[in-house]
Structure 1
Amino acid sequence: MPRFSVVPAAYLVLTRESPHGTEVLLQLRGTTGYMEGWWACAAAGHVEAGEPADQAVCREAAEELGLTISPGQVSLAVVLQRGCVLGGPIEQRIDLFFTASDVAGEPAITEPDKAQDLRWWPLADLPEHTVPHERQVLEHLRGQAAPDSGTRPVLLTRGFDQTLTLIAAIGRNGVIGDGASMPWHLPEDLAFFKRTTMGGVMVMGRGTWDSIGRALPGRRTIVVTRDREWSARGAEVAHSLPEALLMAGDTEVFIAGGGQVYEQTIEAATRLIITHVEQEPAGPVTFPAIDPILWREDSRDVQDGFAWVEYLRRR
């Protein structure tokens, strides 16, 4: 088994008291390549080699906000350990959240390419698009007494209870479509898809969304696209699979296509729900091979012209 490694990062939770209660300073992320257009802690960044985390958060405050803070002015409040079912060391995180208040000086955006806005928000009323793992921490801190140097930090986790289920309809030749539409019309299978995913979270690529043409009711739909300008009613937008899975949270996530998204997630999946269709349509988009060494058939429901089959990953 490969050695486990993590990426450490330090976050500054800067608060103040107002007539409306406790407020927290958040920045609107700019062109950072990650969670762009989402609200996040006022300053944050990776801990550099040989650098204590409390010094790292003070360095980030100086670089991003123009504030001079000493390690004695911050308190470690929360340690968040994050994982991602996709694996890889860059997705294994230890996030160290430091709180501070009554800091001298006026915070300002000093790296305008990375932050579009800087604003105080009521801790009890965070903006809708707050980075999910940071929202988790801020909601935990809501109503908590301000920690002092003797307060023991709390450990939170995220991503370790998430599972991936790939759901698809596949022809005998492995084809699932032509990149724009499904090669068959099976009303019974559409009803099965609805029953199976209702109330859940779906992740899909832009092409799959376009082939459906709308948000499906009763489900969260997260669409992965490289287009930074794209949006659609009823869709939550992510610009990478790790972003999409972070947004999805610790739950079963249904991967609904297309071919590239299936390819990138099947190794991390624990369940496959496959409609095997007794047809061999032409088309360039295929489903990854289902290796019987890795997958065992758990159930099969034979219908007229197709079968619903559930596969579970072998331990």
Structure 2
Amino acid sequence: MKKITSVLLISVLAVSALFANGVKEESVSGEKVYKIGISKFVAHPALDAIEQGIMDELNEMGLSYEFDLQNCNAEISTGVSIANIFKDGNKDLVIGIATPPAQALAVAFNNTDTPVEFAAITDPLSAGFMDEGLSNIFGISDRNPIELQLDTFIDLASIETLGMIYSGNESNGVAIFERAQQYCIDNGLELVAVSVSNSAEVKTAMLSIASRVDGIYIGNDNTVVSAIASVDQVCTDYDLPLFNSDTTSSENTNFLMSFGLDYYKVGRISGNAAYKVLTGTSPNEIGTVFLDDITQFNFILNLDRAEELNIEISPELLAKASFIVQDGSMIEN
């Protein structure tokens, strides 16, 4: 095994004030400089990694570009304002990272020729991105194998009552909850779930269920993941095993298990799709891309936390981990 100093987090470009920032690369040979607007729902490691991956991919493809990077700060109304500003700015392509900003862009650019790309949408069907007649919309889904995640976590931690916090005002959060709920029904488990409307409510929600559950499952829900430190603190205080679907934000938390997409890779794939559309491919030809290749996922086991919780990890499960946490360090397995 080889120790790595920065396993999952990448260098992320600092973003300045709302509506005022941009990243510009000038054309030196007279070719077109593409104007690309990116609206990100909130700053947290996974979405930051997607944003960076998009930019890195386009850099490698040799495009001359001008990026307009915007952060909704988890406010849906801010995403609507950003979308309208992008529309007035004559962008060549716009990208929404997470469901709310992508939906705002789809509305603002409806019946236009401007391509709208979504990135990291858990349920693009219920979000409306797969409706007929949307000729300018395409993108990448970050749908996770929730049933496999729960199978592994529940077996490892011997869970009978599962706790979950989710965002009730985001379609992706509701979709994750509904799949987890169905899983628990099918497998005879009790689910204690609390809906939140913003990240400030997460700690209170956690405290309301901590004494009633055997473990906590957090899906790739942007509102909740942006408050993962609060989830982690309550789990630590109550000796609860934590499953975090967002491996990118797990490095600084006391999780037991994390299994989910590598969001930097999601960004690179999104950037490649953007490049294809900017250079002539129809958005319809790309459509919705689901990432089903297991190599696009990271599986992390925290041996330190397992020891604290007196949970035994079998050699068979350990062998499947791409990374482990041991003696306070993240190590490639």
TM-score (normalizing by structure 1): 0.26
Higher helix proportion: 2
Using CA pairs under 8 Å that are at least 6 residues apart, name the structure with larger relative contact order, 1 or 2: 2
Structure with a larger share of its residues in strand:
1
TM-score normalized with structure 2 length: 0.25
